[in-house]
């Protein structure tokens, strides 16, 4: 009997980024050569482990910094996308790299979670890359941090993105109380109907959550936790000790305000509204 489907949220050691976003602790940080080498070795070990699995697996890479500027992430995405047991392999990226590397990828399983950071890249350049992804038939979402000074950018991005590409919005984390007026919230919800869940996260303590059962967080050493936000260890990927830990669980945290967390709560609409696009944040087409 084939084991049940697993979604893995992989976050290795890499924590460097070529961009300088004002809302990010990883802006313009550098990894040493040794750290990058270690990250590449860890990632290869992960890819090798996945290649030996027969169970269906989906993967989202959630690096602290930017992964696709590193060849080892591009090669891992290509290799994983071509494995028959992979349902989806996606990565969060600022889309600063070209698209030629995708020539060798299997676009049936590969997807990109792209974030547009106004101030770091010109809108026209970002959009040109989005149109190139669409021309290639790549599955991708685009998102932005909904800072009020970027409202015009959000509207422009919405109207200029290729048809069918979803634009998700995260609330600005450092906002003061009453940062958004009700009218602004409504117009942001017109762009992303699920914005309210990010702006005003539902209480999570005791809520059911698929993490720890069919969704796991994995670090570069293979340490498994249920999600990026709960520190309790659940064994290791590479010695198989995580298997005995898989079971239905409720959330031990009072608050879960990040999409890569709360989207796995079956009491919220994400499992239904995004279906097989949950990891890359692409709602299913309605109608
Ligand atoms: S692109 Fe992402 S990782 Fe890089 S500085 Fe901006 S928010 Fe941080
Ligand atoms: S609701 Fe969020 S914090 Fe709680 S277990 Fe799930 S992913 Fe983790």
Distance of CA 56 from the midpoint of ligand 1 (Å): 31
pLDDT band of residue 1 (cuts 50, 70, 90) is low
Q: Quick check: helix, strand or coil at residue 33?
A: helix
Q: Mean pLDDT throughout 33-42?
A: 96
Ligand 1 pocket test target in 16, 22, 24, 61 with most atoms within 8 Å of CB:
24
Ligand 2 pocket test target in 7, 202, 205, 265 with most atoms within 8 Å of CB:
265
Q: How confident is the model at residue 23, as a pLDDT?
A: 84
pLDDT tens per residue across span 109-129: 999 999 999 999 999 999 999
Domains assigned to the chain: 6-277 (3.20.20)
Whole-angstrom distance, CA of residue 61 vs CA of residue 92: 6
pLDDT tens per residue across span 86-106: 999 999 999 999 999 999 999
Task: Give the atom of ligand 1 at the shortest distance from the alpha carbon of 18.
Answer: 4
Ligand nearest to the CA of 197: 2
Q: How confident is the model at residue 14, as a pLDDT?
A: 94
pLDDT band of residue 2 (cuts 50, 70, 90) is low
Ligand 2 pocket test target in 201, 204, 205, 249 with most atoms within 8 Å of CB:
204
Any residues with CB less than 8 A from the CB of 278 and at least 6 apart, and which? 7, 263, 264, 270, 271
Measured between alpha carbons, how far is residue 15 from residues 34, 53, 57, 148, 196 in Å? 13, 28, 25, 27, 29
Q: How confident is the model at residue 287, as a pLDDT?
A: 54
DSSP 251-285: --SS---SHHHHTT-TTSTHHHHHGGGTTTT-PPP
> Which residues line ligand 1 at a C-beta cut-off of 6 Å?
17, 19, 21, 24, 26-27, 65-66, 94, 117
Task: Give the atom of ligand 1 at the shortest distance from the alpha carbon of 66.
Answer: 3
CB 5 within 8 A of CB 214: yes
Whole-angstrom distance, CA of residue 212 vs CA of residue 225: 7
Distance of CA 252 from the midpoint of ligand 1 (Å): 28
pLDDT tens per residue across span 219-255: 999 999 999 999 999 999 999 999 999 999 999 999 9
Whole-angstrom distance, CA of residue 71 vs CA of residue 79: 12
CA atoms within 13 A on the CB side of 11: 17
Hey, what long-range contacts does 218-221 have (CB within 8 A, 24 or more apart)?
218/8, 218/9, 218/10, 218/11, 218/46, 219/10, 219/11, 219/12, 220/11, 220/12, 220/13, 220/38, 220/39, 220/42, 220/43, 220/46, 221/42
């Amino acid at each position: 009997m084939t084991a049940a489907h697993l979604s893995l949220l992989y976050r290795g050691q890499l924590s460097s980024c070529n961009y300088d976003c004002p809302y990010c602790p990883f802006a313009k940080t550098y990894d040493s050569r040794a750290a990058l080498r270690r990250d590449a070795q860890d990632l290869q070990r992960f890819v090798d482990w996945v290649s030996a699995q027969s169970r269906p697996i989906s993967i989202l890479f959630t690096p602290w910094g930017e992964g696709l500027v590193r060849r080892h992430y591009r090669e891992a995405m290509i290799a994983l996308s071509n494995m028959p047991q992979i349902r989806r392999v996606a990565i969060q990226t600022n889309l600063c790299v070209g698209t030629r590397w995708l020539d060798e990828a299997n676009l049936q399983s590969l997807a990109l979670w792209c974030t547009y950071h106004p101030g770091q890249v010109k809108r026209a350049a970002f959009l040109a890359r989005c149109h190139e992804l669409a021309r290639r038939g790549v599955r991708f979402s685009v998102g932005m941090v909904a800072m009020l000074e970027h409202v015009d950018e959000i509207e422009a991005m919405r109207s200029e993105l290729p048809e069918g590409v979803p634009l998700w919005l995260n609330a600005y984390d450092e906002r003061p109380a009453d940062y958004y007026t009700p009218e602004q919230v409504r117009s942001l919800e017109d762009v992303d109907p699920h914005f309210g869940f990010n702006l005003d996260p539902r209480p999570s303590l005791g809520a059911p959550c698929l993490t720890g059962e069919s969704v796991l967080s994995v670090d570069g050493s293979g340490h498994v936790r249920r999600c990026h936000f709960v520190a309790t260890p659940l064994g290791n990927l590479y010695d198989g000790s995580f298997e005995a830990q898989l079971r239905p669980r409720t959330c031990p945290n009072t608050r879960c305000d990040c999409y890569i967390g709360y989207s796995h709560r079956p009491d919220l609409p994400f499992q239904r509204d995004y279906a097989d696009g949950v990891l890359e944040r692409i709602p299913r087409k309605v109608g």
